[in-house]
Amino acid sequence: MTHLTLNKTDLNVHPLCLGGNVFGWSADEAQSFAVLNAYTEHNGNFIDTADVYSEWKDGNTGHDSESILGKWMKQRGNRSEIVIATKVAKLSTRPGLSAANINAAVEDSLRALQSDYIDIYYSHEDDKSVSLRETLAAYDALIKSGKVRYIAASNYTGERLAEALEISKAEGYAQYIALQNHYNLLERKEYEGDAAPVVIAEGISGIPFFGLARGFLSGKYRQGEVVESVRAAGVADYQNDRGYKAVALLEQIAKEHGTSIAAVALGWLAAQPGVATPIASARTVEQLKEIVNFAPLTADQIAELTELTK
């Protein structure tokens, strides 16, 4: 697939941003390395992680995904070829978006990644206990120091994103260049009605997470069947008539294109206004192969999927 340049940056990235949330969680180091190697063999170069990944697993303390990525890049000697996005705010030992926390957290992430810079540094969630000016000023200083290239927001409402962008413009601070919110074929109303208009109007990049609805849109969850997966509990809200009809239509289109159900779901997402590159993760090389190249959907197919899930 042809690489694209994220708006307001010089970052040239693969159309699929590979989610790193599984590294150190459902994928151990060896499995993670195999997926990462396969991704780069498909010219993939854009990886999304966070300091909190995967603190939730027993025995983990955070930075688990970042550490795996750091070891892999060190082994491959390819740091300059990879665009790394990581995040601050949700790790229990480094919570929030105060200047002091951001400055401490970025050093932790740089050590874990074995890198002296981060390509995109996200506010992982909005922290209303800290002024937007304080947060943005801290990021601006990190960019000027060379430790961070660009900043972005995740889990922000349209109103708060717009406010942050206006403050950056007024104060001359670096601006958020992307928004990473929950958005997929089955999760549309909140994003499309709130944040998407700001993303489009401001010309920044939409980089949605859970592009496959926690794996439901991969097609492996079928009516009446039990799936053994650490993520299975997260798809309960999709196991209904609307969800299964969406999967059936995705499967029909996938057969027409000779591709995977997941590739069609991601193809729909990538075609939405303001979306630059969706995020999807893979625990195995086989799963990676299903998602790394989107299906080239027709306008009619996109419209049909849009109508079915509106």
Per-domain boundaries in the chain: 13-308
The one-letter code for the residue type at 166 is E
pLDDT at 226: 61
On whether the CB atoms of residues 209 and 234 are closer than 8 A, the answer is no
How many angstroms separate the CA atoms of 239 and 226, rounded?
A: 11
How many angstroms separate the CA atoms of 128 and 163, rounded?
A: 12
pTM score: 0.96
Task: State the pairing for strand pair 4-5/12-13.
Answer: antiparallel
pLDDT at 232: 61
Instruction: Give residues with Cβ within 8 angstroms of 79, minimum separation 6.
Output: 73, 114, 115
Alpha carbon distances (Å) from 111 to 54, 67, 229, 244? 16, 8, 31, 44
Closest CA to 186 of 263, 124, 244, 259: 244
Distance of CA 45 to the CA centre of its chain: 13
The two structure tokens encoding residue 261? 């159900």
Q: What is the pLDDT of residues 55-91, one digit of tens each?
A: 999 999 999 999 999 999 999 999 999 999 999 999 9
How many angstroms separate the CA atoms of 203 and 210, rounded?
A: 22
On whether the CB atoms of residues 103 and 138 are closer than 8 A, the answer is yes
How many angstroms separate the CA atoms of 80 and 158, rounded?
A: 33
Closest CA to 149 of 32, 271, 43, 11: 11
pLDDT at 228: 63
Active site residue 191: no
Closest CA to 237 of 286, 228, 246: 246
Distance of CA 254 to the CA centre of its chain: 23
On whether the CB atoms of residues 79 and 43 are closer than 8 A, the answer is no
Residue identified by tokens 């069609």 is 264
The two structure tokens encoding residue 241? 């008539």
Which residues of the chain fall below pLDDT 70?
224-233
Closest CA to 265 of 285, 292, 247, 283: 247
- 3-class SS at 41? helix
Out of 53, 122, 150, 183, pick the active-site residue: 53
The two structure tokens encoding residue 257? 């294109």
> Which CATH topology does 13-308 take?
TIM Barrel (3.20.20)
pLDDT at 230: 57
